[in-house]
Amino acid sequence: MAHRLVRRPLRTALAVSAVLAAAACSAPGSNSETTGAGASAAPVANATCGTDPITLKGYFETGFPLPKDLSTEFSKQFPNVKWDIREDQFAVITQNAPRVLADDPPDLMRLPQVSELVKDDLLKNLDGYATAFGWDKWPASQLQQMRVGPTGERGDGPLYAMGLNFSMTGVFYNKKLAAQVGMTKPPETLAEFDSVLQKAKDAGLTPINQFNGGATGGLAFPLQNLMAAYGEPGAINDWIFQKSGATIDTPANLQAAEHLAKWIKAGYFAPDINSQDYAAMMSRFIGGKNLFIFDGDWESGNLDKQMAGNAGFFLMPSAQAGGKQAAMSAPLTFGIGSKAKNADCAAFFLNWVATNQQARDIAVKVGGSHPMGPADAYMPPVQEGTVTASTLAAGATIGEDNGAMDFIANATGAIYAKGWTPNLQKMVAGQQTPDGLLKAVQKDYESQVKK
């Protein structure tokens, strides 16, 4: 029996290697034809959805109703347009993006980090549409993150994606608990913020809940806010955009990481953040279990509904009084597959989202964030005192201070799951130092950018 068992795999192995040799396998992936980047940069004069029945294929993110609401309204205004929408969680979209764009390109797709997709020639160059629709006359900062150069560097070059709106991040707080610890107005310096955190701790409250479990290291939010409080957002953007020679391991960032470590040590975060997921953080904050969370204005509408009147928002204070403020602010990126069938109609939709009054209403009411478009475009009225009002106002401050940053988790496709998350989790458990954190992430970054 034993002999047969051994002999059979041997024979199989022989057969297998014979097949392998016979197939004389050609290298994988080499047969993919290239369409040539920048092929469609000439202005596209007549990009519309026409009048014939047309079905736009969309690939959207589950749990965020904005794109679907916009598509419904669009079909109401343009009845010849129907939608075929597929939805997935963002993590799934991130993993599927290259394959889906290559094999079954959607007309409109929620995109993860774009530079790798551009390098593989999977996204349509939107410059032609930008000229035709006048997107190039909008504030340049709105589109900067979606411009990709030939080497994969972002921030400059042709436009490869478009936003449905652009988000703003900062600190959300529970007004009732804030009053309880004597915080009557948002802190104006980092030191003031520290003292509020300490007061909350002393009062027996949980100062901050932040998701940091599984593969989602949410401590990257406060970390990047601290980085911008100590240093310049420009340098952080250079790193995120993969500018050559950029490093995350700078003295200012080290101060920020040390400050974060101080917060961890002081017990300002809930003790179980390493097992907290995003949903748990939200349900605890909405349930009044803690004072602060670091999050973005995509929750504004939700918080105005579920914590009506009790939720507040402020931008991360600067280290010095009166210092400039900065925040992660990124467009909700959607792109058009380079082989998409209805590219013109999809581009027309994107332009409609930014310029149509109803669409802008939906963008603010449902999405909670600032719509894209010209600086003087129509803005829907927002009720005073709501979270939505304060996040939209924060957008103006960031604009004045030129403090918009992309998210450090978006520097490469894998830097979040493989760099930031494990190292931040280790720092929470006392197994990583601030210095080690930055060095480890920088090392991962370099090996990923090289490719």
Partner 1 sequence: MSVPATGRRGPRARRPRRAWLGWLFALPAVVMYATFVLRPLLLTVQYSFYEWNGIGASTWVGLDNYGRLFTDSELFASILHAFELILFFSLVPVLLGLFVAATIRGIAQSRLATVARTVLFLPQVIPLVAAGIMWSWLLSTTGLANELLSAVGLDSVTRAWLGDFDTALPAVGIIGAWVLVGLCTLLLLAGMSKIDPALYEAARLDGAGPVREFFSITLPSLRQEIGVCVTVTVIAALASFDIVYIATQGGPGNSTMVPGLEIYYLAFSEREVGMASALAVALVVLVLLVVLPLQRLTRDGSR
Residues making contact with partner 1 (CB under 8 A)? 1-2, 5-6, 9, 16, 19-20, 23, 25, 27-30, 32, 94-96, 98-99, 102, 116, 119-120, 122, 212-215, 271-276, 280, 413-414, 417-418, 421-423, 425-426, 428-429, 431-432, 448, 451
- Which C-beta is closer to partner 1: that of 212 or that of 388? 212
Instruction: Compute the C-alpha angle 41/94/83, nearest 5°.
Output: 65
- Which C-beta is closer to partner 1: that of 315 or that of 427? 427
Strands 327-328 and 404-405 turn out to be parallel
CB of 93 to partner 1, least distance (A): 11
The length of the chain is 451
The separation between CA 437 and the C-alpha centre of its own chain, rounded to angstroms, equals 21
CB of 164 to partner 1, least distance (A): 25
Write the CB contacts of 97 (distance below 8 Å, at least 6 apart in sequence).
109, 111, 112, 117, 122
Q: Using N-to-C axis directions, what is the helix angle for 66-77 and 357-365, rounded to 10°? A: 160
CB of 33 to partner 1, least distance (A): 12
- Which C-beta is closer to partner 1: that of 32 or that of 402? 32
- Which C-beta is closer to partner 1: that of 15 or that of 179? 15
Task: Specify the residue for token string 């000229």.
Answer: 131
- Residue 74 to residue 51: CA distance in whole angstroms: 14
- Which C-beta is closer to partner 1: that of 98 or that of 399? 98
Rg (CA), the chain: 24
- Which C-beta is closer to partner 1: that of 25 or that of 375? 25
Contact (Cβ atoms closer than 8 angstroms) between residue 229 and residue 190:
yes
Contact (Cβ atoms closer than 8 angstroms) between residue 100 and residue 73:
no
CB of 282 to partner 1, least distance (A): 15
Longest dimension (CA), the chain: 83
Instruction: Compute the C-alpha angle 165/225/409, nearest 5°.
Output: 65
CB of 318 to partner 1, least distance (A): 31
- Residue 78 to residue 181: CA distance in whole angstroms: 53
CB of 417 to partner 1, least distance (A): 5
Contact (Cβ atoms closer than 8 angstroms) between residue 204 and residue 334:
no
CB of 425 to partner 1, least distance (A): 4
For 157, the enclosing helix (H) or strand (E) is strand 154-159
- Residue 240 to residue 369: CA distance in whole angstroms: 22
Helix (H, G, I), strand (E, B) or coil at 95: helix
CB of 279 to partner 1, least distance (A): 12
- Which C-beta is closer to partner 1: that of 213 or that of 233? 213
- Which C-beta is closer to partner 1: that of 207 or that of 371? 207
Task: Specify the residue for token string 């100590």.
Answer: 230
- Which C-beta is closer to partner 1: that of 15 or that of 321? 15
CB of 200 to partner 1, least distance (A): 19
